[in-house]
Structure 1
Amino acid sequence: MTRRPVLEFWFDFASTYAYLSAMRIEPLAEAAGVDVRYRPFLLGPIFQAQGWNTSPFNLYPAKGRYMWRDVAREAERRGLPFRRPDPFPQNGLAATRVALSGADKPWCGAFVRAVFHAEFGEGRSIEEPSAVAGLAGSVGLDPDQTMKAASAEPNKMRLRAITEEARTKGVFGAPTFFAEDGEMFWGDDRLERALAWAAGEDA
């Protein structure tokens, strides 16, 4: 059996545009003959290194106003629900730890979509571990076991390492995509191009 190319999907649960990508990446990747590798990480430390203490969409109000309208417009075009959560950005640490603990497991995509749907589709909080446990249960996972594995020290260390890896790779926002040759694409509007590149059709 021929090995399929892989596209890395780097995302932070606080990213509105990552929501748009997460909800469509798997069927698009399947059509392109590409496998998706989920790479959850934390943008906070990367922003802090640039002197930002919150999302740039909060720091630059005009940019923020445009983003909210743009995401709402794109969600409507794609038939996705969209509701602005309060507060924004949310602390997605617990959800990110769960996603990372299952990044190489078949359930990861379903869990990622469940979190993004709750946050940006319904405007619900994903900050509380209890909320994350409930979302894990909604995709067929054992909530207690899942949260225990996610909060174990090796997984916490892994998250710190992957966030540092994101920084060293030059990631500055989410979503970001990497093909196997290291080519980087940033933004939901580059997802199709990233898949084509990964498949060798656009290199």
Structure 2
Amino acid sequence: MPRQALPRLEFWYEFASTYSYLSAMRIETLARDCQLEIVWRPFLLGPIFKKLGWPTSPFNLYPSKGSYMRRDLERLCEAYGLPFTLPVPFPQQSLLAARIAHAGRNQPWIGAFTRAVFVAEFGQGLDISDEGLMADLLLETGAPAKDMLDAAQTRETKIGLRAAVCDAENRGIFGAPSFVVETGDLFWGDDRLEAALEAAAKEAS
């Protein structure tokens, strides 16, 4: 008898997003407890922000919002037992990491790679646009580093990531992290992760 497929929850994340870091570090464990499958959807917020007239993160455009975010992340990371260092510059250039993750989004190592990138960036303050760092993280998470770095530069991957941004816009996604259940309902923000998991599990019951 074939194994019944688990209900799915789409996890839309941007590597330059501080709150995506929090969700990425928790989502696989929580989803496993709920018997859900995570669909990893890396994308870029920059093109969406530009259409809103924002040349950079709103945390930079509005200093009080940025100050709050930093303190909020310090508190939350302490509560979750996660390291936190805001990298300089912020936001980081996330294009290379996003292309790698898009190319490997269906691979068994995608969760480990995603977490490794976020820890390097927001735990250690490292530059995630560095190809050498990406190669090291790929190897550490059991991925074929050279093949994935090559795949990140292919026309197929570049077009695919641009299509992912368009897909995000069409679904009404305006920030990260965002979570989409199978009915299309959207949940935004790390503080809505548990609610999204609950909704996805309820749909399957």
Which of the five TM-score ranges fits, normalised by the shorter chain? over 0.9
Cα distance in 2 for partners of 1:130, 1:118 equals 12
Cα distance in 2 for partners of 1:167, 1:42 equals 11
Q: How many residues align?
A: 203
Q: State the superposition RMSD in angstroms.
A: 1.3
Cα distance in 2 for partners of 1:68, 1:171 equals 23
Cα distance in 2 for partners of 1:152, 1:130 equals 18
Cα distance in 2 for partners of 1:26, 1:87 equals 29
Regions of 4+ moved over 2 Å: none
Cα distance in 1 for partners of 2:203, 2:139 equals 39
**Larger mean Cα displacement after TM superposition, 58-67 or 144-153:** 144-153
Cα distance in 2 for partners of 1:142, 1:186 equals 32
Cα distance in 2 for partners of 1:199, 1:104 equals 21
Consecutive unaligned residues in structure 2, runs of 5 or more: none
Cα deviation, 1:44-79, whole Å, max 9, x if unaligned, reads 000000000000000000011000100110000010
Match in the other structure for 1:23: 25
Consecutive unaligned residues in structure 1, runs of 5 or more: none
Cα deviation, 1:1-34, whole Å, max 9, x if unaligned, reads 2221100000000000000000000000000111
The answer as to 2:167 corresponding to 1:187 is: no
Letter of the structure 1 residue corresponding to residue 141 of structure 2? V
Cα deviation, 1:79-123, whole Å, max 9, x if unaligned, reads 011111000000111100110111111110000000000000111
Following TM superposition, by how much is the alpha carbon of 1:201 offset from its aligned partner in structure 2, in angstroms? Answer: 6.6
Cα distance in 2 for partners of 1:110, 1:12 equals 15
Aligned equivalent of 2:160, options 147, 154, 158: 158
Match in the other structure for 2:43: 41
Match in the other structure for 1:115: 117
Following TM superposition, by how much is the alpha carbon of 1:138 offset from its aligned partner in structure 2, in angstroms? Answer: 1.6
Letter of the structure 1 residue corresponding to residue 61 of structure 2? L
- Per the normalisation by structure 1, the TM-score is 0.97
Cα distance in 2 for partners of 1:51, 1:74 equals 30
- Per the normalisation by structure 2, the TM-score is 0.96
Cα distance in 2 for partners of 1:62, 1:163 equals 28
Letter of the structure 1 residue corresponding to residue 118 of structure 2? F
Match in the other structure for 1:142: 144
Cα distance in 2 for partners of 1:73, 1:187 equals 16
Tell me if structure 1 keeps the 8 A contact 2:104–2:148. Answer: no
Match in the other structure for 1:178: 180
Aligned equivalent of 2:9, options 7, 10, 21: 7
Aligned equivalent of 2:128, options 116, 126, 129: 126
Cα distance in 2 for partners of 1:68, 1:169 equals 29
Cα distance in 1 for partners of 2:118, 2:9 equals 20
